[in-house]
Amino acid sequence: MNPRIVRLAGLLLLTLLPALRANSAEGSAIKLGGNFEVETVKDVAYVEGASADPDKQKLDLYLPKGQKDFPVLMFVHGGSWRSGDRKMYAPLGNILAKNGIGTVIISYRLSPKVQHPGHIQDVARAFAWTCANIAKHGGRPDQVFTCGHSAGGHLVALLGTDESYLKAEKRGFADLKGVIAISGVYSIFPGAIFESAFGKNEEAVKNASPLKHVKENLCPFCLLYAEKEYPTLDLMAEQMGKALKDCKCDASITKLKDRDHVSIIRKAASDETDPAVQAIFEFMAKHSSLKLTPKAAQ
């Protein structure tokens, strides 16, 4: 072979090698929990009786079919405490269950039908139902995580910092394995922006702030927020993360590039390789029995 061609080929390879290595590293970073068939159980009431809301106080289960003793994630949707429903997040439930995570996606009563603390009371009731019943479906009641987006991020963070709502359902912090809050709201202020969902009582409104209740010995937290976040939510996430770490809590905080407040959850619900989903997998694997393997090895 012509020596000049060999030298040119070598130079070309040296030029491309960093990019090839980067692509290889990026691909190897993707980890999955499996490829299980998904079983669904829908419209399960977590509050019963004549006073129960016939639609909102219900949940859907997404389960890795035929599996036992899997970790569990309870997901709480966003929507400014005024809109949204569990049925919107079926794709996310399928992705998580496919990867070996039993997933409980809940609805809860919305404003203006209820105001705070109605929303968080429903989340606590759904969590208590999950702890009491998930073993019947193969899940581990001692490995129940919560996850929420936006208003749902606020609710799971409040559940994980103010134990009064769990105690009202005869549960406690010991039942909560970890909190994953995505684009959450961690400080609630008196005023028009929050009034429809939280009312006018200034003390009650301030007490709805997860940031106010941060203390030592909380469960692990994983905070995710978007690079192009709604105003102040990025600052809130950083403040919440700092407060947790200052109290020596196990906490991580991650800003996801090329995401906004909506796309951060929309993309997560459609792609198991999405950075938000990968963060959920890694967090749960660190704190539960979930086993991950590189995508290339599957």
Task: Tell me the residue type at 67.
Answer: Q
CATH number for the domain running over 33-297? 3.40.50.1820
Strand order through the sheet with 102-106: 38-45, 58-64, 102-106, 70-76, 139-149, 178-182, 221-228, 251-260
pLDDT value of position 297: 61
pLDDT band at residue 295, thresholds of 50, 70 and 90? confident
Question: What's the pLDDT tens digit per position in 138-188?
Answer: 999 999 999 999 999 999 999 999 999 999 999 999 999 999 999 999 999
Once rounded to an integer, what is the mean pLDDT over residues 264-287? 97
What is the pLDDT at residue 17? 41
CB contact at 8 A, 114 and 155: no
Token code pair at residue 246: 């200052």
User: DSSP per residue over 117-134, as a string?
Assistant: THHHHHHHHHHHHHHHHG
Structure tokens at 32: 């999955």
Virtual torsion, Cα 136, 69, 284, 258, nearest 10 deg: -70
pLDDT in the model for residue 191: 87
Distance, CA of 163 to CA of 248 (rounded, Å) = 18
Assign 296 a pLDDT band (cuts: 50, 70, 90).
Answer: confident
Q: Which residues neighbour 278 within 8 Å (Cβ) at sequence distance 6 or greater?
A: 29, 30, 31
- Mean of the per-residue pLDDT values for the chain? 92
Reported as a single tens digit per residue, the pLDDT across 200-253 is 999 999 999 999 999 999 999 999 999 999 999 999 999 999 999 999 999 999
> Rounded to whole angstroms, how far apart are CA atoms 137 and 188?
36
Q: Is the pLDDT of residue 25 over 70?
A: no
DSSP code of 47? Answer: S
pTM above 0.75, yes or no: yes
Q: Can you give the residue ranges of every domain in the chain?
A: 33-297
Instruction: Say what the pLDDT of residue 69 is.
Output: 98
Q: What is the DSSP letter of 245?
A: H
Beta-sheet pairing, 293-294 with 251-260: unpaired
Residues 38-68 pLDDT 10s? 999 999 999 999 999 999 999 999 999 999 9
